[in-house]
Amino acid sequence: MKFFFPDSQDQIDLSFRFVTEERDPFRVRQRDDLYAHEVLQPAPFDGLLVSKAIVDGTANSTTGKYTAAQRHRLYRQGAQTFFRLNHGRTPLTIMGDCGAFSYVSEEYPPYTVDEVIDFYDGCGFHYGIAVDHIIFQYDPTIPKTDPRAHDWTHRQDITLALAEDFWKRCQARRVQFTPLGVAQGWSPDSYAESVATLQRIGYRRIALGGMVPLKTHEILACLRAIDDVRDSATQLHLLGISRCGDIPTFARHGVTSFDSTSPFRQAFKDDRNNYYTADRTYVAIRVPQVDGNTKLKNRIRSGEISQGQAIQRERVALTLLRQYDAGEADLDTVLEALSAYSALWDGKSDRTAQYLETLEHRPWQACECAICRTVGIEVIIFRGSERNKRRGFHNLYAFRQRLRHQLGEDSS
């Protein structure tokens, strides 16, 4: 089972100093900052998923996250060099897709088949996913002939037509990557129909799209329907799915790979599941910067509280957390300082009980990943991108350990 991590130019700056929150003034982000697969060895994933929409954007959106210079360098150097894929002990692979989420509201995908092939082949990707048009709705009770399914069948038809064109152009151009077709649907039967059509075209690697909102039992219903038409040699890829506990079950239905950002994004997007361990998650300790929290800045501007008071409580909270990690401060004192600062910037959510559990258990001290061994308690502090991304990298490490355990693999 292969796990691909979607790229969004997420890197960490090793020169960042946590106490002073300063950086090396001569740091060059792309040259000096490191990807997760450079920080963690072995890499916490098998490869990267790189989206054309992230790299190039679209005509009607601003989803591109690459600068013009970065785009040109990716095309010029190729993915292996740009992402420094061979720096670790395990060589990584790259899968490309179009980023259908970015143009879901458009009538038709904004890229031509040849543009996408140019992107995949030009950057030296190992796998390339055909142009598709996502279907978000899921309703097994609505057949293809029902007028309510008109938009869904239209998107499915577009996806299958583009897949056929993609396959033919890949054969004609003798591309260096392995092409994947995309099955879109709104029910087990419609997904199965898509897979059957893609196999007739010639695909033996097929990505299943639009399943992110589905519950596990709905995904399994689709996989069981696909089993009825799937050739034994056909391998399935789940787009955007990371149900770690269900991966072994998915594997029994022909799933050989998946991609997801969830472990990384939960580090700073989730309300409570911020720090992964082998068997649970913990809440991260929120100590926002005084000048980086909108509510706190507004209270300071209005004169409701003084900036000096806010800075003093912020510094006390951070100092006591570090002292606690070193065994030089007691837990009650730390919790009181966190509560005092929270009263200024939050005032609504009382996370004391959750913080108590996190700090009592000290999960970062038991973790063997390079992030936790290097920065200690800083990884559990919810504050700024350098800490939050490091926690995201740690989560990728912990997720990989969970996945290996689920699959019965050696975690060494």
Mind telling me the catalytic residues? 97, 259
Q: How far apart are CA 187 and CA 210, in angstroms?
A: 11
Q: How far apart are CA 192 and CA 185, in angstroms?
A: 8
Q: How far apart are CA 12 and CA 45, in angstroms?
A: 17
Name the helix (H) or strand (E) containing 206: strand 205-208
Residue 60 backbone phi and psi in degrees, to 5: -110, 15
Nearest to 21 by CA among 292, 274, 286: 292
Q: Are 109 and 133 within 8 A, CB to CB? A: yes
DSSP conformation class of 180: E
Burial class of 274 by CB neighbour count within 10 A (0 to 12, 13 to 18, 19+): buried
Q: Are 82 and 38 within 8 A, CB to CB? A: no
DSSP conformation class of 84: T
Burial class of 256 by CB neighbour count within 10 A (0 to 12, 13 to 18, 19+): middle
Query: Tokens for 217?
Result: 């039992």
How many residues are there in the chain?
Answer: 412
Q: How far apart are CA 277 and CA 238, in angstroms?
A: 24
**Count of other CB atoms within 10 angstroms of residue 336:** 15
Query: Tokens for 82?
Result: 């740009």
Nearest to 269 by CA among 137, 128, 388: 388
